[in-house]
Structure 1
Amino acid sequence: MKTALLLITIFLFFLPPPLYSSEIIIPVDDFPPWKIVHNDNVVGGIDSYLVKALLKDMDFTPRYTYAPWKRCLAMMKNGQGDLISGITLTSEREDYLIYLKPPYKTKSQKVLYVLRGQKHSIATIEDMENKVIGHLRGAQYYPNFDQHLTNSHFETNTDLQGLRMILAHRLDGFFITKENGLYLLRQDSQLRNNLESSAWTYEENIDVYFAISKKSKLVHKVEELEQRIRSLVKDGEIQRIIETHL
């Protein structure tokens, strides 16, 4: 009898984890205010509230894990990650991701921050000529971006660095996505009191999605998840979450 119980115990111990588990892995990079990471720990961000709304009343528990963006994509590709947010559609990514449709965000507004009191000094792209304009390294904020900045433009490693360079009079202006700029100014009173967005803005159509790994157990929940997204978008809940937690 004892031998039989021992064999059963050993058998159960070495069984693979169940196919259906309530925990889902969500890879997250550091991209405030959407995804906020501190000391390699995911501490929040707008996307966490969007995920919570998406999974409401579903038997899933999200577990966030921090990784640089490229590693996040690798995790989704090899099945280590189940769900990812804030992702745009490319043909390469479609090889290993199922994009949940519709997109939950379809527009992105870019602004140019300048010193307070200089709001109307830059109202058009032509006004940027002969000025030193900064932008995040690798980012593009306007069609034919480089062609318009004929004099000088400066790349920064972070948005915060660029905004602080305006205060130091090392930049005349700094390009940034609207939500990112609002978040950083709300976190820093010196920036908030001394900077403002210029009269120049640019809005472009960019579809942003949730996506799941083709190797995830969530592939059986695509229809339910997409129905949930349609409801959140139609009811305006997505926009309310963004505005509330910005």
Structure 2
Amino acid sequence: MPLVRLLLILLLTCLSPLAQAERLRLVSDEWAPYLYLENGQPKGVDYEVANAVFNRLGVEVQWDFMPWKRCLAMVQQGLADGVLDIFKVEAREGFLVYPDEPMSEVEFVLYQASARRHRVERLEDLAGLTIGTSPGYTYGGAFNESPLFRREPAPSHEANFGKLALGRIDLLLTDRRVGRFLRRQLGLGQSIEELPLVVSRQQQYLGLARKPGREALARAFSEELQRFRQEPAYAAIQARYDGADDFPFAVEQQERSTR
């Protein structure tokens, strides 16, 4: 038996009593199609993958959805055991442990109303405009710190699309896959357009509250996720959601700019 495999088995053997004795409470906001609620039930490509990996590890998980800033506060205050689909940010290393293997990759792009088009090829072209964003997110230093345009947060991704459709903001910034999913769900496919400029590409991870034993759980999760990615069950999850949002899922390794 290869040494790495043997060490992992020993790790999981040590982890099992802890996992069975503790039910993890994981939080996130709705970030469809990665994870979201449908008829009160969790769904989404990253939710399904994470749930499958935890099941293999024998870890029971309670999933709760809430606004993103509250998710971070819950973990920091010790009221939640982790958060799904979060970026690695240096300021969070004091209270979060990450598996080495990311859950997925996001690509932040801009959306505009078809009736109010803007020519945008670089960030400087946003001068004087109001850009819809999400509270608690960071989209990379160049976007976050630019004095050329105004960033206006909305309480939800759906609210941002509504504001854009009504002309209350000039553009909105979100992940490409999320934007395409919501544009279709909200019936805005003919009135809202996606712009080609990619503001940032970032990996998102499972973040576990920094407590005793969590480093071991993070390592076990990473190893099991790597194995799961080689199996037909993983490909089936990707195919199901790829068909839903018409955007090929990126398995390649490439921060939700702060998710």
Partners of 1:32 and 1:68 lie apart in 2 by 10
What residue ranges of structure 2 are gaps of 5+ in the alignment? 1-16, 246-259
Aligned to 1:167: 165
Aligned to 2:114: 116
The answer to whether the aligner puts 1:101 opposite 2:100 as a matched pair is: yes
Aligned to 2:197: 200
The answer to whether the aligner puts 1:225 opposite 2:224 as a matched pair is: no
Check 1:122–1:88 CA distance in 2 against 1; reply closer, same or farther (3 A cut).
closer
Partners of 1:169 and 1:151 lie apart in 2 by 16
Report the Cα offset of residue 160 of structure 1. Answer: 2.1
Spell out structure 1 runs of 4+ moving beyond 6 A. 117-120
Check 1:192–1:223 CA distance in 2 against 1; reply closer, same or farther (3 A cut).
same
Q: Deviations over 1:88-134 (max 9, x none)?
A: 334554444432212233x4311111123776732332332344433
Check 1:98–1:157 CA distance in 2 against 1; reply closer, same or farther (3 A cut).
closer
Check 1:47–1:216 CA distance in 2 against 1; reply closer, same or farther (3 A cut).
farther
Size of the aligned set, in residue pairs, is 225
Would you say the 8 A contact 2:143–2:199 is kept in 1?
no
Question: How high is the TM-score relative to the length of structure 2?
Answer: 0.66
Partners of 1:103 and 1:76 lie apart in 2 by 19
Partners of 1:225 and 1:75 lie apart in 2 by 22
Q: What is the DSSP-based 3-state SS (H/G/I as helix, E as strand, rest coil) of the residue aligned with 1:102?
A: coil
For 2:60, give the aligned amino acid: T
Partners of 1:222 and 1:141 lie apart in 2 by 25
Report the Cα offset of residue 197 of structure 1. Answer: 0.4
Check 1:165–1:101 CA distance in 2 against 1; reply closer, same or farther (3 A cut).
same
Larger Rg: 1
The within-5 A match list for 1:38-57 is 43-57=42-56
Partners of 2:217 and 2:194 lie apart in 1 by 42
Report the Cα offset of residue 216 of structure 1. Answer: 6.5
Check 1:214–1:245 CA distance in 2 against 1; reply closer, same or farther (3 A cut).
farther
Partners of 1:195 and 1:133 lie apart in 2 by 14
Aligned to 1:141: 139
Q: RMSD of the alignment, in Å?
A: 3.8
Aligned to 2:28: 29
Question: How high is the TM-score relative to the length of structure 1?
Answer: 0.69
The answer to whether the aligner puts 1:127 opposite 2:121 as a matched pair is: no
Partners of 1:70 and 1:92 lie apart in 2 by 14
Aligned to 1:243: 242
What residue ranges of structure 1 are gaps of 5+ in the alignment? 1-17
Report the Cα offset of residue 195 of structure 1. Answer: 0.6
Partners of 2:19 and 2:65 lie apart in 1 by 23
Select which of 208, 232, 235 maps to 1:212: 208
Would you say the 8 A contact 2:35–2:47 is kept in 1?
yes
Report the Cα offset of residue 176 of structure 1. Answer: 1.6
For 2:113, give the aligned amino acid: L
Partners of 2:242 and 2:222 lie apart in 1 by 22
Q: Deviations over 1:185-207 (max 9, x none)?
A: 12111x22211102322233x34
Report the Cα offset of residue 57 of structure 1. Answer: 3.2
Q: Deviations over 1:27-48 (max 9, x none)?
A: 2232321332589x66333332
For 1:231, give the aligned amino acid: R
Report the Cα offset of residue 177 of structure 1. Answer: 1.9
Q: Deviations over 1:118-174 (max 9, x none)?
A: 767323323323444333345443543366563555443333222222222233322
Partners of 1:150 and 1:97 lie apart in 2 by 33
Q: What is the DSSP-based 3-state SS (H/G/I as helix, E as strand, rest coil) of the residue aligned with 1:122?
A: coil
Would you say the 8 A contact 1:24–1:82 is kept in 2?
no
In terms of fraction of residues, the more strand-rich structure is 1
